[in-house]
A and B are shown apart, each in its own frame.
Chain A
Amino acid sequence: DAGVIQSPRHEVTEMGQEVTLRCKPISGHDYLFWYRQTMMRGLELLIYFNNNVPIDDSGMPEDRFSAKMPNASFSTLKIQPSEPRDSAVYFCASQLSGTDTQYFGPGTRLTVL
């Protein structure tokens, strides 16, 4: 199995631009999580889906952030417009229901200038 796949691995953009991060979960996993990691705040859950439906989006910072999961094998996290304080590493993870382990992707390092 290829594991959780994220793209791009690195993204550098200018303030005000739209940024789209992508994630492909492990095949068969029905939970998908988006996390953000910064030095100041550590690793925080932004949103998670079950069977493509958002379950908890209480960690989404503000309306500039949106996440979708159009099918079981693909999810996006979009930031529009981006700001320098959005600079962080964004992780996607997936999990199979009935189990306790989340499998993390390698992350996308976002830098907003």
Chain B
Amino acid sequence: KQEVTQIPAALSVPEGENLVLNCSFTDSAIYNLQWFRQDPGKGLTSLLLIQSSQREQTSGRLNASLDKSSGRSTLYIAASQPGDSATYLCAVRRGGATNKLIFGTGTLLAVQP
């Protein structure tokens, strides 16, 4: 059974710092991995998606990497801003025909001005 874990559970940093969020999964047979952002009282927004054949994806100040063999992904946020404060979740999609996502436990990020 696939299990997805995120470390740390919570993180507080001053504005301007670069930071790394971690995601680990137990079954390396994945189709892709996504990073989502969740703001309080709102749904999830997809940030980055990495296919199993890819090593990383970048969007603006965000960079996500994937090491499928070790079951790890990282989300790097450069020059953090107070507007980055949110909960970040990673999710893996199994191989095969299923569209089912298995979500991690999330990291609550607070960027202090």
Instruction: Tell me the A residues contacting B by CB distance below 8 Å.
Output: 4, 31, 33, 42-45, 48, 50, 55-56, 91, 93, 95, 100-107
B window 22-51: CB within 8 A of A: 32, 34, 41-46, 49
- Known A-B contacts A45-B101, A100-B49, A102-B101; the reply to A4 vs B34 at CB < 8 A is no
A interface footprint on B12-29 (CB within 8 Å = 1, 0 otherwise): 000000000000000000
Chain B residues with CB under 8 A of A107: 41-43
| Interface contact B106-A56, CB-CB below 8 Å | no
- Residue in B43, B46, B105, B106 whose CB lies within 8 Å of A105: B43
Q: Tell me, rounded to whole Å, the shortest Cβ–Cβ distance linking B9 to chain A.
A: 11
| Interface contact B32-A56, CB-CB below 8 Å | no
Instruction: Tell me the B residues contacting A by CB distance below 8 Å.
Output: 32, 34, 41-46, 49, 89, 93, 98-106
- Residue in B34, B43, B101 whose CB lies within 8 Å of A106: B43
| Interface contact B103-A43, CB-CB below 8 Å | yes
Chain B residues with CB under 8 A of A95: 99
Separation of A56 and B46 alpha carbons in the complex (Å): 22
Q: Nearest 5 A-B pairs (CB), nearest first?
A: A104-B43, A43-B103, A104-B44, A101-B46, A106-B43
| Interface contact A101-B49, CB-CB below 8 Å | yes
| Interface contact B106-A42, CB-CB below 8 Å | yes
- Residue in B42, B100, B105 whose CB lies within 8 Å of A42: B105
Inter-chain pairs besides A42-B104, A91-B44, 4 sampled, C-beta below 8 Å: A45-B101, A100-B32, A103-B46, A104-B43
Q: Tell me, rounded to whole Å, the shortest Cβ–Cβ distance linking B103 to chain A.
A: 4
Chain A residues with CB under 8 A of B93: 100
| Interface contact B103-A31, CB-CB below 8 Å | no
Q: Tell me, rounded to whole Å, the shortest Cβ–Cβ distance linking B107 to chain A.
A: 12
Chain A residues with CB under 8 A of B101: 45, 102
- Residue in B34, B45, B89, B99 whose CB lies within 8 Å of A48: B99
Chain A residues with CB under 8 A of B44: 43, 91, 93, 102, 104
